[in-house]
Amino acid sequence: MRIGTGFLLAILSGLLWGILAIAIAGISLTLISGLPSAPVISAGAVAGAVSAAIIMLRSPNLRTNGLYLAAFIGAIIAMLGFSFAAPFTEPFTSAPVAQAIAIAIIAGAITLANRACLDGIEGGILTRYKIDVVIVRVLRGFGFVFFTVIVVLPFYVMLMTSLKSQQSLFQNPLDLSVDFSQGSESLFNSYIELFTKFNFGRFLLISTIVSVCTVLITLAFSIPGAYAVARLRFPGQNILSKSVLLIYLVPMIVLVIPLYSVFSQVGLRNSILGLLIVYPATTVPVALYMLQGYFRGLPVELEEAGLMDGLGRLGVIWKITLPLALPALASVSLYVFMIAWNEFLFAFMFLDDPNIFTLSRGVVSLNSSEVPRQHLMAGAVVATIPILVVFLWFERFLVQGLTSGSVKG
């Protein structure tokens, strides 16, 4: 084996994956066991480099599972040896099972990552194409892992904190493990108190009503508007179609103060009706913009055939255009629903009566010294789970609706 750019890239890949793996494992070990462990980053880097070097000992067509097993074992030995058997700065006698599992996971993750990034790569001089392939693989994998952790970690902390008791949080705030032996009533006590003491069932109902009504009002205005911009010819059509999103150039914080003043004078502040006026005003432009692109992609011949068969323009929209545009309508509905469900600024400024709080406004009402922290986290979970389920269920419509109409022809 010749040492060239391939071998050097492999070492760099191993260093990166080793640092990332031991950092993530250290954070996870702290949250699961409660031990204030600080990972020895250099030990992870050395383990990654050793694993990559072992893999590169053979050419790509001679790499077997035994070689990858040797890389796995080599990573463990290098990690323990470089850190003096304390890769998390804690003695191995402290939570030995958790540390052993973490070390095995680190070594396995490093080996699998190096195997994926170095597949088909030899240790000698590489062509420019293969160098680019390794770099793209490493950056793509690193980006995927990094942003996955950034997204998942807050959800994990939020969920685990909501299942803890006030006493356990005071004893060790870093320990986010869950004791399932305490029984379901104690485990879900925060959620039970949310709905029995803090009126969260009503918050859910109000948010659902506001979000659904916002979707219906938005569609009622955006469908005819988008169809007119896409199909009808009138002066200023191009200017209107291109300037429909200009409202988003104005920050909402700039609009909320004058709207607060006006709504207070006309009696619409502290009412659901006030929200049902403001929310569609902020969602109609983006809905109109999304729908007009889809309507332009529909064959105009179908609508002309409908007109020739005696249908009016409204009949053509109802019987031909809308059935064909169901993916776009589902996409727009989901997008608008999420905006209305998660909206906080106007709800915070306009609503003072707890009986008409939306869910986001209700969660903020828990942020006080009188309410335990686990109740606040439980409220955040309750606010997140429904919209997450709805998004995952309708994701295919969202992707299809966003991409439809983006290409002419």
Strands (E) across 52-165 are located at none
Looking at the predicted structure, is the pLDDT value of residue 94 above 80? no
Confidence of residue 113 (pLDDT cuts 50, 70, 90): very high
Separation between Cα atoms, residue 283 and residue 263, nearest integer Å: 19
For residue 3, what pLDDT is reported? 59
Mean of the per-residue pLDDT values of the chain: 86
Confidence of residue 323 (pLDDT cuts 50, 70, 90): confident
pLDDT in tens, 130-164: 999 999 999 999 999 989 988 888 888 888 888 88
Question: How many Cα atoms sit within 13 Å of 345 on the Cβ side?
Answer: 13
SS (H, E, C) 262-316: HHHHHCCCCCHHHHHHHHHHHHHHHHHHHHHHHHHHCCHHHHHHHHHCCCCHHHH
pLDDT in tens, 344-370: 999 999 998 888 999 988 888 887 666
Q: Are 165 and 186 in contact (CB under 8 A)?
A: yes
Residues 6+ apart with CB under 8 A from 155: 384
Provide the percentage of residues in the chain whose pLDDT is more than 90: 37
Considering only CA atoms, which of 158, 202, 209, 399 is closest in space to residue 290?
399
For residue 365, what pLDDT is reported? 82
For residue 1, what pLDDT is reported? 46
Looking at the predicted structure, is the pLDDT value of residue 371 above 90? no
For residue 49, what pLDDT is reported? 95
The stretch 304-333 carries a mean pLDDT of 86
For residue 405, what pLDDT is reported? 46
Residues listed for the chain: 409
Separation between Cα atoms, residue 204 and residue 382, nearest integer Å: 9
The stretch 225-248 carries a mean pLDDT of 80
| 78 or 368, greater pLDDT | 78
For residue 399, what pLDDT is reported? 60
The stretch 120-137 carries a mean pLDDT of 90
For residue 257, the surrounding DSSP H or E stretch is helix 252-266
Looking at the predicted structure, is the pLDDT value of residue 220 above 90? yes
Compute φ and ψ for 88, nearest 5 degrees.
Answer: -115, 20
The CA angle 6-7-8, to the nearest 5 degrees, is 95
The stretch 388-408 carries a mean pLDDT of 63
pLDDT in tens, 210-219: 999 999 999 9
For residue 118, what pLDDT is reported? 93
| 173 or 78, greater pLDDT | 78
For residue 21, what pLDDT is reported? 94
For residue 406, what pLDDT is reported? 44
Considering only CA atoms, which of 44, 40, 54 is closest in space to residue 15?
44
Provide the percentage of residues in the chain whose pLDDT is more than 70: 95
177: left (phi over 0), alpha (psi -120 to 50) or beta: beta
Looking at the predicted structure, is the pLDDT value of residue 112 above 80? yes
The stretch 56-74 carries a mean pLDDT of 93
For residue 11, what pLDDT is reported? 94
Residues 6+ apart with CB under 8 A from 96: none
Confidence of residue 109 (pLDDT cuts 50, 70, 90): very high
Separation between Cα atoms, residue 396 and residue 391, nearest integer Å: 9
For residue 188, what pLDDT is reported? 87
pLDDT in tens, 151-202: 888 888 888 888 887 777 777 777 777 777 777 777 888 888 888 888 888 9
